[in-house]
Chains A and B, each alone.
With several copies, the nearest count.
Chain A
Amino acid sequence: MLIQLKKVTIVAESLLKEGILEILKAQGSTGYTITACEGEGSKGIHASDFEGRNIQIDTIVSSEVGQLVLTAVSERYMKNYALIAYMNDVEVVREDKFK
């Protein structure tokens, strides 16, 4: 009953929200979950405190879509923006929700 899928997680400055969600949609993700967060990494400075801190975007996708999303996000944003992206295996109920 459980199906093996991937959870892709992207942590980025919140200004990138719209752009990342566009990528998700374009690559075939059917849904996402956003959480507000803070953090520190290699890029110390964030654009604007008025815009809120970081966001974490999770999306459950197939392994292929996961690869595509990671590639697209890192190509578009990794160089100039504060962003990390990774994925891990998850066992999911009701796979039809994610297709």
Chain B
Amino acid sequence: MLCRCQKQSGTSHIMELAIQNLISPVVLCFVLGAIARWVKSDFKLPDAVYQSLSIYLLLAIGLKGGVAISKTPINELILPALVTLALGIITPLSAFFVMRKFGGLNKTDAAATAAHYGSVSAVTFLASIEAAKLAGLEFEGYVAALMALLEIPGIIVGLILARGKGSGSLGSAIHDVVTGKSIFLLIGGLVIGTACGADKIDGVAPFFIDPFKGVLCLFLLELGTVAASRMRDMKQAGWKLIILGSAIPVVHGILGTAAGILVGMSPGGAAILGAMVGSASYIAAPAAVRIALPEASPGIYLTLALGVTFPFNLILGIPLYMKTAEILSQL
């Protein structure tokens, strides 16, 4: 009875969290961008600036994460890192299985989609951090390092799953993934942040740390217009896929959250890990998949990642993972 009662209050709490999460500059800017597209406004962030904001965000995430690593004893990092790597291998497999079995996708499309769900969406990661802060939850600073770890394996597993189906060598595909600008900047930032430590990074905080959230708003404004375009393409993906695009993040997200709690992370940190695991990449993965798996249909994987799963996580997923973390941490 206590359990059910808790569950009920939990449910209502999730709605509150969801609403509190919704009414934030970050989420509302995303919504505003989507509206811009829907009302056919001519708003458009110039390409050069949109790309530069990406560069800024990834480098800044890296720097912040690096500082956190420099403060964390290595043995505290090992377990979360291993679990993150494991999740980066498991989740593309489960996504592949689901997409083949229930989604009716061919092998290449399923593998391409799996690569996206195995990797991570940097913006979902950031949104989950904002949500955790808003909810007053503490979290481990090294989560950004986990994000970097989570980006790569999923993509590689996805490409391996598609193999045989023609396409180039795996080696050159992996080189492309690792030197691709998004992962390169993230890892570069992590290394610089770790090497410099908190004191020296402090000097660049007024650029890389303090205005970060505002820059994220501007980025999401543009991402909203892009996501809204993807939502229009949903017919191509079909209803079955759209439902799976909401179900997979729930499963993966809860899995990630539970794993985080299990290895002793704080509820906030576990929820953030859950959001990462539940998210689907739409920056690093699409570029890699497009080159390595040209026959896969971007109309499927991009629409799922950016048109379905990203908004789902932003609005419902993240509060759900936070609530899950809270409940699990009390067990």
Contact = CB atoms under 8 A, between A and B. Distances in A.
Contacts of A52: 47, 51
Interface in A31-60: 36, 44-53
B134 to A, nearest CB: 27
Contact of A50 (B287, B295, B298): B287
B298 A51 contact: no
Interface in B256-302: 282-283, 286-287, 289-291, 294-295, 298-299, 302
B299 A47 contact: no
B294 A50 contact: no
B54 interface: yes
Nearest to A77: B294
B233 A49 contact: no
Contacts of A92: none
A73 to B, nearest CB: 14
A81 B290 CA distance: 9
A45 B233 contact: yes
B290 A36 contact: no
Contact of A47 (B42, B182, B290): B290
Contacts, number: 41
Q: Is the interface of B mostly helix, strand, loop or mixed?
A: helix
- Interface residues on chain B, size class: 20 to 34
B287 A51 contact: yes
B128 to A, nearest CB: 20
A87 interface: no
A15 interface: yes
Contact of A36 (B47, B294, B299): B47
B56 interface: no
B312 interface: no
Contacts of B139: none
A48 B299 contact: no
A24 to B, nearest CB: 18
Contacts of A53: 47
B146 to A, nearest CB: 21
B226 interface: yes
Given A48-B282, A50-B51, A80 B295 contact: yes
Interface of A: 13, 15, 36, 44-53, 79-81
Given A45-B233, A47-B290, A80-B294, 12 more contacts: A13-B290, A15-B291, A44-B233, A46-B298, A47-B302, A48-B283, A48-B286, A48-B290, A49-B50, A49-B226, A50-B287, A81-B294
